[in-house]
């Protein structure tokens, strides 16, 4: 156990991790100073090299999904021509929100390095914690109403997917 904490402490001071995290933080600071978007930056690294980076661009692109991590993942996938980023890691200036965490799982990124926490984000008015809290509730207790309909009809697409020889699994 002691060895585990020692290795973890070593990792936090590893110059390479510090370098990439400083890049993500610099993106977050520049984004505020230039009034582009929220104080968030992310960098995707593959084999020790930065392959994509972005800051948050929600307000300037009118895209609610344009968080730093989502954009960095989209740029990284485009760059390597693959939706599978399992040989990549991500450095993000803030603990990912549920949307970005979901995107990280779908991309199969193998490790997350983050700096600010979701509680820090909540303190300056971002909804990350609210969304985490909502996801923890059973659907019927959430603030966002959800209604199911036509499942018998929709399941046909899943049946066709299973039968298709052409499908690309992801």
Angle at the Cα of 99 (from 167 to 96), degrees rounded to 5? 125
135 binds its own copies (CB under 8 A): yes
1 binds its own copies (CB under 8 A): no
Catalytic status, residue 69: yes
Measured from the CB atom, is 47 or 164 closer to its own copies? 164
Print the binding letters for residues 149-168 with its own copies: x by CB under 8 A, - otherwise. Answer: xxx-xxxxxx-xxx-x-xxx
Minimum distance from residue 49 beta carbon to its own copies (Å): 19
Minimum distance from residue 91 beta carbon to its own copies (Å): 9
Print the binding letters for residues 91-130 with its own copies: x by CB under 8 A, - otherwise. Answer: --xxx-xxxxxxxxxxxxxxxxxxxxx--xx-xxx-x--x
According to DSSP, the β-strands at 41-46 and 49-55 are antiparallel
CB 56 within 8 A of CB 66: yes
- Return the H-helix or E-strand segment holding 81: none
What does each C-alpha distance from 21 to 14, 16, 52, 148 come to in angstroms? 11, 9, 13, 42
Residue in 1, 2, 49, 62 binding its own copies, rule: CB under 8 A: 62
Cα distance between residue 90 and residue 67, in whole Å: 14
2 binds its own copies (CB under 8 A): no
CB 102 within 8 A of CB 59: no
Contacts with its own copies in 20-59 (CB under 8 A)?
21-22, 24-25, 28-29, 31-33, 35, 37-41, 58-59
Cite the active site residues: 69
């Amino acid at each position: 156990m002691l060895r585990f904490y020692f290795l973890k402490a070593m990792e936090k001071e590893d110059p390479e991790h510090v370098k990439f995290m400083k890049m993500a933080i610099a993106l977050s600071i520049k984004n505020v100073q230039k009034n582009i978007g929220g104080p968030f930056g992310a960098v995707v690294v593959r084999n020790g090299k930065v392959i994509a980076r972005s800051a948050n661009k929600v307000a300037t692109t009118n895209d609610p999904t344009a968080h730093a991590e989502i954009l960095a993942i989209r740029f990284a996938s485009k760059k390597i021509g693959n939706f599978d980023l399992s040989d990549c890691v991500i450095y993000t200036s803030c603990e990912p929100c549920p949307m970005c965490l979901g995107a990280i799982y779908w991309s199969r990124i193998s490790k997350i390095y983050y700096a600010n926490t979701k509680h820090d984000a909540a303190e300056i008015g971002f909804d990350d914690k609210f969304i985490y809290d909502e996801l923890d509730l059973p659907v019927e207790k959430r603030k966002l109403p959800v209604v199911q309909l036509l499942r018998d009809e929709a399941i046909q697409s899943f049946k066709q997917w299973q039968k298709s020889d052409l499908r690309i699994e992801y």
